[in-house]
Amino acid sequence: MKEICRVRREGVLLRDIPRREPGDMLQLVATWQEQEDGVVRRQRIAVHPGTPTAEELDRFIAQVHATDTGSEAVLVYAGDAPAGGLRRRAAGHGVRVGIRSFIEFQGLLDLRGYVAAQTARLSSSEQYAPASTCPSATATPTAPTARTVPAKNVTVSSRSCWNSWSPTTAGSSCSSATSDTARPSPCASSPAASPNSSRT
């Protein structure tokens, strides 16, 4: 958090605020001078590792009222976004207390709330429900694997069958088939003719 303050605010001064109670959040005060108009600004920052609750927010607001009534304050959380009512609660206590996610505090756009709302809306829609969508028709081809014929313990490669096939040899046996003519190769489309057989 301190590193982000130093990157975003040139010449910022940071001061840690000691905890008064074990349940207090980690807090610090950042003081810097705006480059555009030279105005000195002061901001009290509380850091929450998860999602802040209403009780934690009220305790932070009370601490801001007691010591830093003239400065703005922000509660930065690292977990899921709190309910919208918590943000309105922070803005309605007569002191400028904002609630920002860790992503927003870095000056970035936090789209997690939008993505969650869109996902919930599509899941509840009959038109876009995941159960009603078809799987992708694109399949990644896999390399042919060897097949074993248990009766003759003959291993025939599907790749060699396809590589040896041509329109002129469609009726011949696969090049990797067994020489046993009593049982033709599984990849042959028709039995090979014997050179000694006579025509009828």
Domains and CATH numbers, the chain: 2-123 (3.40.1340)
Q: What is the pLDDT along the chain (200 residues), one digit of tens a residue?
A: 899 999 999 899 999 999 888 888 999 999 999 888 889 999 999 999 999 999 999 999 888 888 866 678 999 999 988 887 888 887 776 567 888 999 999 989 888 888 888 888 888 887 776 666 666 666 566 655 555 555 555 454 444 444 554 555 444 444 444 444 445 545 444 444 444 544 44
Q: What integer pLDDT is reported at residue 56 of this predicted model?
A: 92
3 state DSSP class of 169: coil
Rounded Cα distance, 179 and 184, in Å = 8
Beta 26-33 vs 72-77: how paired, if at all? unpaired
192: CB partners within 8 A, 6+ apart: 172, 173, 181, 184
CA 120 to chain centre: 16
Rounded Cα distance, 56 and 151, in Å = 75
90: CB partners within 8 A, 6+ apart: 57, 61, 75, 97, 98, 99
Residue 135 backbone dihedrals phi, psi, to 5 degrees: -65, 165
Amino acid at 77: Y
Q: What integer pLDDT is reported at residue 184 of this predicted model?
A: 52
